[in-house]
Amino acid sequence: MQKRAGVLDHLEELRWRILASLAAVAIVTVAASFFSKPILEFLISPLRALGDYTLYFHSPYEGLLIYLKVSLLAGILAASPVIFMELWLFAAPGLHSSERKTVATLVLASITLFLIGAALAFWGIVPWSLRFFLGFQTDSLRPLLGVGPYLSFLLGMVLAAGIVFDMPVVLLGLVAVGALKVQSLRKARKAVIVCFFIFSAVVTPTTDPVTQTLLAIPLIVLYEGCVLIARWMRKGKD
């Protein structure tokens, strides 16, 4: 009975943590809705920098849905520290003091790396990709760009880069708990580098090698940094 009560208590706490995270997202989304137009203009800025292009919506209600999507995205991104904090507060009671410090550091690092990856995609990869695709237009072949597909393309690239840049957090977390050996990271180096270039070729919707390299090289640097930090973390333990 005590074990069952303990599980129910944890589930109840998890429910309140989820509700708190959803409340934070809802509040920030409502606040962001008042600034949805400048946020949308900011998201369109990589396209504006390439020329006087116009985005179109193709149904009477699509314009409204676009503003709602932009507001929700801003709400999730702005409330992400609260979401991570709630996850940390839920996990902290079951960890030792040294593990709590490690988890807190990894959470902070994950937010930072996600923002770095997203910024690299927004100001680097996306403009290169747009320039490549729009370079196929001619006097008789003009692009008719829809705002929905454009935002899907933009957000897909940004989120993919942000999630991939969180790779070091996952690897270091596995090393910290002893589930992954530093020697394994070293042995897998060549295969990982090849996988990074393959991933970059798949994620970036362009055959331009410069665009693919812009994503692959930072990933390689992050991986090498992971190996060095993992050696320091496991020094004297393995």
- This prediction's pTM: 0.71
- pLDDT for 2: 46
In tens, the pLDDT along 10-36 reads 777 778 888 888 999 899 999 999 999
Rounded to 10°, the helix 62-91/36-48 angle is: 100
Alpha-carbon distance values, 179 to 127, 152, 193, 198 (Å): 39, 36, 22, 26
Q: What is the dihedral of CA 132, 136, 137, 142, to 10 degrees?
A: -90
**pLDDT band with cut points at 50, 70 and 90 for residue 93:** low
- Per-chain mean pLDDT for the chain: 80
CB 224 within 8 A of CB 126: no
In tens, the pLDDT along 111-145 reads 888 888 888 889 988 888 888 888 888 888 888 88
CA pair distance 98, 116, nearest whole angstrom: 27
Closest CA to 85 of 35, 20, 136, 137: 20
In tens, the pLDDT along 167-203 reads 777 777 777 666 677 788 888 888 888 888 887 777 6
